[in-house]
Amino acid sequence: MSRPSTGGSGNRVTPGEVSPELPPVEIVYPSAVPGAWPHNMSGSYTLKGDLAGLENGAMELQESPGKPAVVDIDDPRPPGPEREPDGGLRRWESAEALNISLHQAARDGDEEVVKKVLSRFSGNLKRKKINELDEEKLCPLHYAARNNDYQMVKLLVENGADVNRKGEDDTRAIHFAARFRRLKREQSEEQINEAVLSQQDSVIQYLVSQGVHVNEKDYYGQTALHFACIRDNATAAQDLLRCEGINVEAKDKQEMTALHLCAIHESNEIGAMLIAAGANLRACEEELLTPLHFACQSGNLKLAQMLFDAAEKLDGWVTISQMVTDQDNDENTCLHMAVDNGELELVQLCLEKGADVNRPRTNFATPLHLACVSGNLDIVKLLLAHNARSNALNVNQEAPIHKAASFNHAHVVKYLLEKGAQVDRREKDNFTPLLLAASEGHVETIQMLLDNKANIAAVDKYDKTAIYWAAQEDRLDALQVLLDHPLAESLLEESDRYDNTPLHISAEKGYLGCVKALLDKGAYIDTKNEEEQMALHLAAKSGRTKVVRELVKRDKTIINGEDENSCTPLHLASIAGHTKVVQVLLEAGANIEARNTNGWTPLDCAAAEGWTKTAMALLDDDSPVDPTDKAKTTPLHLASSRGHVEMVELLLKWNANIALKNDAGLNCLDLAIDNGHKDTAAVIVNDENWEMAMRNKTTDLATGMATTPMRKLIRKMPSVAELVFNKCTTSNGLNPEHKKYEITFNYEFLDDMYAPWLQDIDSEKMSIMSGESNEVYDKENYVKEGVQAYSTDSNVLKKNHPLQIMVISKREHLLAHPLSTSLLRHKWTKYGRYIYYFSLALYLLFLTFLTGYLVTVRPPYVDSADNETQASWERWSTNNTSVILVFTVVGKFIILGLAAFHIIKEVVQMFVQRSDYLTVENLLEWTLYTLSVLFVIDLKAEDWISSTQPMKENWQWEVGAVAIFLAWMDLILFIRKFPRFGIYVVMFTDILTTFLKFAVVFFLFVVAFALCFYALVSNQFSFRTVDVSLVKTAVMMIGEFEFDSMFHTFEDKGDLAEYSDQLFYGPVTYIIFVVFLIVGSIIIMNLLVGLAVDDIKGVQEEAVLERLAMQVDLTLDVEQNLPEFIRKRFVRKSETMRPNGIHTTALKAWLFSDSATSAQAIAKALNPEKTEIEKLQEQQEELMGVVNELRYRVKNMKYQNDRLEELLNALVDHSGLKVDEEDKIEKDGAQRMMKSRPGMARTKEK
């Protein structure tokens, strides 16, 4: 917007400055909206107030002393530059104001302002300003040419305006001149003669004279002549055609010439000019359309006549015949275009010029087909009068009568029949005109065809009759017309290829009116299709409540009809979840206990699909809650196996038997777990009868061992298993800090080796209808006499124990649960610690005497020592005789006795564990005890009784050395099961395992360097043989290089150096040694350290799990080795403890921590703090609940709205009102569009 400038005295006011010379200024708007400068309004604007705060630079104001300054806007020009009385320009304050004012001056045709502005610039600056584009991408010359202002164009060009300056879409001034060039006509609208026209100055010709090429194209390839044709600008076209070099055949990007555009936009005057200028009458655009095509398409009769006249003058009928036979890409001729557009006169013209009335286009449609589509009877008559074939076929084998019937042009159908069209002509899908009309519901056409003896019994390729099609498409009026035919009654039972009758299809689709019409006419209500389904079956399956109600009302005997799968309508409605249909059928007396071929009741069907509301309706009508099918499957089984949580909740609420098992022995909890439905399993576990679901036994197909829901939960759903653990842990309700706070642990499902449901017995209580626990426990919760474990194999009992499964599955949080730790504590305190400590004591006794025996017995090599060293061995014969007596005489028998005891124990263990006995630990013990016996046994008879220093053979001493090593190693394995110490043993074994995996690679490096050193320095003692070189190289790996003795001994000894001190291949030996130093000592050693650190880190990360696993392993090992009669005495169903009343010793707390069974640990385990993810999940569930509630309310609102709409429609129909719904929707849509996009109501002229 231009700013008001001051004139007059030239006083200046800059921002932030108050002029003492200027009066206060205010702007008084007359009738305009404040805040905008109304360029198109006249009147006086009074400026008041202080100009010091105005932005955008200084301003000049023309004032009158003592009066407010007044800006006069009566002048149409905006108050941009103020003009002095003589018309002179005061001054310009910015380049932006100059640019805007220059464009506006050129647009307004103000030559004086343009001259004043241009006079202030010169040279390149003037050319730059005069050719600058505004925000519309237009320069002043474009505006002047657009307004056809010859003088302004000339002024701008003379001052340096570029006549070829490109604007938006590469348009030039000549394009604007051709587009907007208009001859100014007088108000009298008198005809303007050529003399007046010639007197006007032509901007176009002036621009051409200044170097503009008359054939310049814009971005879309259009020339000025194209623009003139589009705007029907005959004056501009005449100017252009006068220009030398004009190309009347120039084509745009769509290959259109100016003559094409004349035909499209009905620029007939220009078309005549172009034809006179020699334009190609048969020019083709990109789709091969000629000007005649476009003329016929747009209904431009005048131009079409001119084209034919010009062709006739050109070379007579030769060109005319070519024009009427020219085809586009779709093989349309001018006749096709004229017929398609419904232009009778054009059609007649084309026919007079010789157009082929039967020429087909790409889809073999003739002009008569098109005329029948549009329904123009006059054109149809004209075409037939010119010998059009009434039975011509298109690509779909449709005759014109098919098209007329499809579009309900009954008058056209009648005329075609009169002219010999076949009334029952069939197309490629065997449709007759009657079938097409019936499918579309065209009543008038149907009646016309029937009156002309159309075959009402005709069927299409799907064996559907006209009655069938009317019923299928809900064409009730058409159906009534067809049913009134005398032969209609005999066609009511005519079925399609699937044996569906019209009643079937209308019932399936829910067309109540059609159903009533068919039934009223006599259609059989119990007819069945190929699946043995009646119309009621299909209506029930599709949820057509009204139809179902109508059918049942007509005949209640069909309500329990069965299809080929013995499904009743109630079954099908339950499968599809149509609750309202189910209710209607139940109200009508449907059999709620009917069973299909699978033995399923309707409740089974609803449960299998998860339709909760449907199941509720069935249960409310006294449906059996636990019906069993052939596979003994109940609705609860089906819902559980398919993960329908809400359905499971509903059935459990209705007291479904949670313990029932199918023929595979699986109950509902088993099915939920096996199919991975965690939420469903959680619902079952949280039921009040959850214990009955837990008491079940099946066979694990992977291991072949017995399994229970508890074991499955541990393996597959540890979070649900934790819920079970929590339910097995109950308190007396007191505060956890209270001294009498009690916790009761139920071990029934965690320590279940004597559980009755795991027994392989056939009793009434263990049948599939049971699930209750047999009383195998006495009043004090101990196992009764005579009860046997579910397996006699103690190894199976250990491997299949839930605690062992937790270890294998790495369920750390379950092992750390108070229930698990309490069971471990019970087993350990009752018998585990006594047996373990007794075994440990026996082994320590054995180890003590074996060690003492080795230390006190005289080595064999003592007897072979010389006299000089004889004195150093006297301690074996003179000193510590009592110690020698204890360890060599007594100890020998103790060692043999303990070794024999352990060997017998191993034999027994071997028979008990069988194949599982073959472990490294057992092999180690066999080796230890065997070697110990061989070591201590005396081979001489006299040594058995009296000798305190028995003579040992050399091999015995070697055996003894190995035995004592293995004995102490076995002690390490013994203490491994102590949680406090065992974690370090686990670290060692993990590192050892990793090293053994790496040992092959390590050995290859050792061999490589050992052989190399042997080859280079085998004269030295350390590398004298290959085996010695291997050992030496392995020792060097850990840093024992002996560098000086290897490389510099011969230098130190000088002349005394011997052969073994020489270094014969110094350079190569040094290089190999350096490589060995880097690879062996640095890389390999660091690699081993890194592997060890990684193993230690892994053990530390699972330290808690490893510690708990060792407790489990120790406890179950002890239990495994106990005789059953002893083991059974310590198995309990439950145990009550007071965690605040237990006082443990410091040694016990250090060796075997009881912190897991403290009151705080139990309370924390039973009420854990929620993690961030759990909190987010809880919030998400709350949000989902809110969303579901909103969805339910919206659904109810929609239902109410639909009901209201139905009532309103019924009211409208009853009152006989007519509502043009389509027009109303279109009107509302247009209003919404205009409101959303107010700019759409305005057009921008360029």
* Domain range annotation of the chain: 1-93, 96-185+196-247, 495-601, 625-727+749-816+1110-1132, 831-975, 995-1101, 1188-1241
Q: What does the pLDDT look like over 60-84, one tens digit per residue?
A: 333 333 333 333 333 434 444 334 3
- Write out 942-997 in H/E/C secondary structure: HHHCCCCCCCCCHHHHHHHHHHHHHHHHHHHHHHCCCHHHHHHHHHHHHHHHHHHH
Tokens of 692: 């009955």
Q: Does residue 824 carry a pLDDT above 60?
A: yes
- Torsion, CA 344, CA 345, CA 347, CA 351, rounded to 10: 140
Q: What is the mean pLDDT of residues 288-298?
A: 94
Q: Does residue 31 carry a pLDDT above 50?
A: no
Residue 1019, burial from CB neighbour count under 10 angstroms (0-12, 13-18, 19+): middle
Q: What does the pLDDT look like over 136-157, one tens digit per residue?
A: 899 999 999 998 889 999 999 9
Q: Where are the alpha helices (DSSP H) in 810-919?
A: 812-815, 818-827, 833-856, 881-884, 891-913
Architecture in CATH for domain 96-185+196-247: Alpha Horseshoe (1.25)
pLDDT for 1164 equals: 63
pLDDT for 669 equals: 96
Q: Which of 314-323, 393-402, 1161-1170 has the highest mean pLDDT?
A: 393-402
b/e map of 350-368 (b: 16 or more CB within 10 Å)? Answer: bbebebbbebbbeeebbbb
pLDDT for 19 equals: 38
Q: What is the mean pLDDT of residues 23-46?
A: 37
pLDDT for 1180 equals: 86
Contact 527, 534 (CB under 8 A): yes
- For the domain made up of 495-601, give the CATH fold: 1.25.40
| Of the candidate ranges 426-440, 487-501, 762-776, the one whose mean pLDDT is the lowest | 762-776
Q: What does the pLDDT look like over 1024-1083, one tens digit per residue?
A: 888 888 888 888 887 777 766 666 555 555 555 566 667 777 788 888 888 888 887 788
Report d(CA 289, CA 284) in Å as an integer.
5
Report d(CA 38, CA 47) in Å as an integer.
15
Q: What is the mean pLDDT of residues 554-570?
A: 95
Q: What does the pLDDT look like over 444-459, one tens digit per residue?
A: 999 999 999 999 999 9
Q: What does the pLDDT look like over 612-665, one tens digit per residue?
A: 999 999 999 999 999 999 999 999 999 999 999 999 999 999 999 999 999 999
Residue 126, burial from CB neighbour count under 10 angstroms (0-12, 13-18, 19+): middle
b/e map of 46-80 (b: 16 or more CB within 10 Å)? Answer: ebeeebeebeeeebbbbbeeeebbebebeeebbbb
Question: Per the CATH hierarchy, to which homologous superfamily does domain 625-727+749-816+1110-1132 belong?
Answer: Ankyrin repeat-containing domain (1.25.40.20)
| Of the candidate ranges 68-77, 198-207, 634-643, 796-805, the one whose mean pLDDT is the lowest | 68-77
pLDDT for 400 equals: 95
Q: What does the pLDDT look like over 938-947, one tens digit per residue?
A: 876 555 555 5
Hey, CA dihedral for 476, 482, 484, 488, is it positive or negative? negative
Q: Residue 874's pLDDT band (boundaries 50, 70, 90)?
A: low
Q: What does the pLDDT look like over 397-442, one tens digit per residue?
A: 999 999 999 999 999 999 999 999 999 999 999 999 999 999 999 9
Report d(CA 735, CA 1167) in Å as an integer.
13
| Of the candidate ranges 72-81, 356-365, 455-464, 832-841, the one whose mean pLDDT is the lowest | 72-81
Q: Residue 875's pLDDT band (boundaries 50, 70, 90)?
A: low
Report d(CA 25, CA 45) in Å as an integer.
11
Amino acid at 1164: K
Q: Residue 1232's pLDDT band (boundaries 50, 70, 90)?
A: very low
Report d(CA 109, CA 147) in Å as an integer.
8
Report d(CA 45, CA 30) in Å as an integer.
7
Q: Residue 1212's pLDDT band (boundaries 50, 70, 90)?
A: confident
pLDDT for 1219 equals: 60
Query: Is-same-fold flag (96-185+196-247; 625-727+749-816+1110-1132)?
Result: yes
Q: Residue 42's pLDDT band (boundaries 50, 70, 90)?
A: very low
Q: Residue 1244's pLDDT band (boundaries 50, 70, 90)?
A: very low
Q: Residue 511's pLDDT band (boundaries 50, 70, 90)?
A: very high
Contact 97, 2 (CB under 8 A): yes
Q: What is the mean pLDDT of residues 984-1012?
A: 84
Contact 204, 240 (CB under 8 A): yes
Q: What is the mean pLDDT of residues 792-810?
A: 90
Higher-pLDDT residue of 488 and 764 is 488
Q: Does residue 1239 carry a pLDDT above 70?
A: no
pLDDT for 260 equals: 95
Q: What is the mean pLDDT of residues 120-147?
A: 89
pLDDT for 762 equals: 47
First to last CA, the chain: 20
> 670 Cβ partners below 8 Å, 6+ apart?
696, 698, 709, 712
Contact 1109, 815 (CB under 8 A): yes
Q: How far are the Cα atoms of 787, 896, 897 from residue 890, in angstroms, in the given order?
A: 46, 10, 11
Instruction: Name the nearest CA neighbour of 814 among 744, 899, 947, 717.
Output: 717
Q: Strand order in 1134-1137's β-sheet? A: 729-731, 743-746, 1134-1137
Q: Does residue 388 carry a pLDDT above 80?
A: yes
| Of the candidate ranges 366-370, 693-697, 1122-1126, the one whose mean pLDDT is the lowest | 1122-1126
pLDDT for 786 equals: 81
What 3-state class would DSSP assign to 203? helix
| Of the candidate ranges 532-536, 804-808, 911-915, 1147-1151, the one whose mean pLDDT is the lowest | 1147-1151
Report d(CA 365, CA 368) in Å as an integer.
8
Report d(CA 596, CA 627) in Å as an integer.
12
Mean pLDDT of the chain: 81
Radius of gyration of the chain (CA): 54
803 Cα distance to chain centroid: 39
| Of the candidate ranges 121-130, 159-168, 371-380, the one whose mean pLDDT is the lowest | 121-130
Q: Does residue 1178 carry a pLDDT above 90?
A: no
